[in-house]
Structure 1
């Protein structure tokens, strides 16, 4: 059996696909690795996802999936950007990986993944999230990046409807500093009560060598914290240049495998996103219920600072986010 395992939330989520792929090895299932290619503003100066038209030394499979290689890179506003997916496959000497473009809505994305999966005899699909934001409901004051996660959660639900074996995996509970670790444990328990918890797998000693290789190349904080927790890190740490604080404990090193349909059913955000027809439409729908997204944040940063947002100090960055949230007004979502 063959599985498509991909980083669900963009950026460094791809590093966490390693734990899922090792879990599958124990079940004699081989993995093809992919990721949503969307980098944080400190890596990519332009707002939004990296898609086939941006990629160099790459081979489009369809409008959603592009085959990439260790030599692949993106050009964004004349700036060379190396996606974390490229860094990942290069670190592990993997011949190719697969970029997922999310300019379309969940149904079109699922159709693209289905086309790719059929061509490659893939029966299982696992979307991997680092941090646990994909378990949000939408009313959490600290939530900062619901757009990518819920477009892809919605796509996973569509893929399950198509007959694939589909799993949502999340690791590093709270490791991106948006949702509290205890809150994520409560959400997993809620999902488990509805028979939505499938399995759990922690990082183990056999993974250490490869994870060291991955984290020497892939730029990520949220995906690295689980490994740091495995190595003994405990307590509160700061990430994002001091923008957020994260509680780290042994729980951080455990990956939970969940039924995406149950996750979706327990979150109002799914209902907001599921019928969206494009990235822009999904973003608009979230704005309409008072949610300021990571895409809004990137667009506001770019409008204010152009290509140089990563050079601004933390107080300027915080101000942009606060102003953006204020413009949208009161939250209109019931949780």
Structure 2
């Protein structure tokens, strides 16, 4: 086959951004394969760390190193993954990359995928910009996946470039820190480029990609996401995509330098501890342990359910949150902070759309406050 080869450098949500960047670079209809990790948040996958090829059933094998995720694929319990559903909603094919053999194994997978596609170059895509982190940033949380991809691509010898979309939108490296490293933007995403992700955010929890879609649709202002110390400000730069040569990213990314030649994920974790001072996989293991303990405590303590309706609880939560200066939020933030089940969330979203349409700023939600969110034309 002849197809473009792209790699979503971060977790499972980066495949959404990669589809948009592909649409902007090559058009919606251009055949493409997006390589992506099955490395998703614990709310999706309760098993810490990335998933391997052997953690799925129903993949389409197109080589001993390359397995495609299809709508008929499924994670083997207790693991979870949204990639099969994403494969049904995105036009590019999705291929699974498995980091458990370090950069050595990843390089073999990328090289075989390039051969399968007939591609003579690789486009790496990262939403937020932590691929251009040097490892010292105090807010850095998940640099390992991106750095592994960069180091592995260097090892293949295949020409590659890195596209950074929405600097700062993942709340890891602030926009003000990133922009001096990135130079001039390659292009700006527009509302038309978001058509290819359709209604993905009706069910997918990715926040960074949701913010990028909002920015491309002209939304500007202060947005609250979950589990981030500060809100994200959607600025004119939030819809920009920047292109850096692979060599330039390697100059910046000290973790990618340290990962060259690693042969397993444990070795890669040690490199991350050495350069960044932590292992995100170890952090996930600890969070998973805490979640398990919290669930056990809740079952033991019981307690009466909240009698207020989800809508009433949302309105009260909205007033408190808007008072802090936040103008709009992701679905994931209010769903998790209100502790909504999937059924309650669906009902609340429908009620908000029907009775309070002014709150809807897809894929975000506007909060009622004195300062109104500004919508700019793309």
Compared CA separation, residues 64 and 103, structure 1 to 2 (3 A): farther
The answer on whether the counterparts of 2:255 and 2:276 sit within 8 Å (CA) in structure 1 is: no
Matches of 1:63 and 1:305 in 2, distance apart? 36
Q: After TM superposition, give the deviation of residue 63 of structure 1 in Å.
A: 5.8
CA distance in 1, matches of 2:44, 2:209: 16
Helix, strand or coil: the match of 2:119? coil
Farther-moved stretch of structure 1 (255-264 vs 21-30): 21-30
Does residue 156 in structure 1 map to residue 153 in structure 2?
yes
Greater alpha carbon shift after TM alignment, 100-109 vs 237-246: 237-246
CA 1:22–1:102 in structure 2 vs 1: closer, same or farther (change >3 Å)?
same
Superposed CA RMSD: 2.7
TM-score normalised by the chain length of structure 2: 0.71
Q: Please state how far the C-alpha of 1:86 moved relative to its aligned partner.
A: 2.5
Alpha-carbon shift at residue 276 of structure 1 (Å): 1.9
The question of 1:304 aligning with 2:305 is answered no
Counterpart residue number, 1:229: 215
Provide the residue aligned with 1:35 in structure 2: 36
Tell me: CA distance 1:242–1:141, structure 2 relative to 1, closer, same or farther (3 Å): closer
Aligned to 1:175: 169
Separation of aligned partners in 1, 2:293 and 2:99: 22
Select the structure that is richer in strand.
1
Q: Which of residues 267, 279, 286 is equivalent to 1:293?
A: 279
The separation in 2 between residues aligned to 1:221 and 1:7, in whole angstroms, is 15
Match of 1:92 among 90, 93, 114: 90
Structure 2 unmatched ranges of 5 or more: 299-332, 334-378
- Equivalent positions of 1:5-44 (< 5 A) are 5-25=6-26, 30-44=31-45
- SS of match in other structure, 1:67: strand
**1:66-81 matches, cutoff 5 A:** 66-77=67-78, 79=79, 81=80
Residues 1:131 and 2:128 are matched in the alignment: yes
Go from structure 1 to structure 2 and tell me whether the alpha carbon gap of 1:69 and 1:267 turns closer, same or farther (over 3 Å shift).
Answer: closer
Structure 1 residues without counterparts, runs of 5 or longer: 193-198, 315-335
Distance 1:91 1:26 in 2: 17
Give the superposition deviation at 1:228.
0.8
Mapped to 2, the partners of 1:28 and 1:200 lie a distance apart of 21
Native 8 Å contact 2:19 2:90 kept in 1: no
Please give the alpha-carbon distance, in whole angstroms, between the structure 1 residues aligned to 2:28 and 2:94.
Answer: 22
Figure out how many residues of one structure are paired with residues of the other and give that number: 297
Which structure is larger by alpha-carbon Rg, 1 or 2? 2
For 1:275, the equivalent position in structure 2 comes to 261
Deviations 1:133-161 (A, max 9, x none): 010001111111111111111112223x2
State the distance in 2 between where 1:36 and 1:92 align: 16
Q: Give me the whole-angstrom Cα distance separating, in 2, the residues matched to 1:99 and 1:308.
A: 32
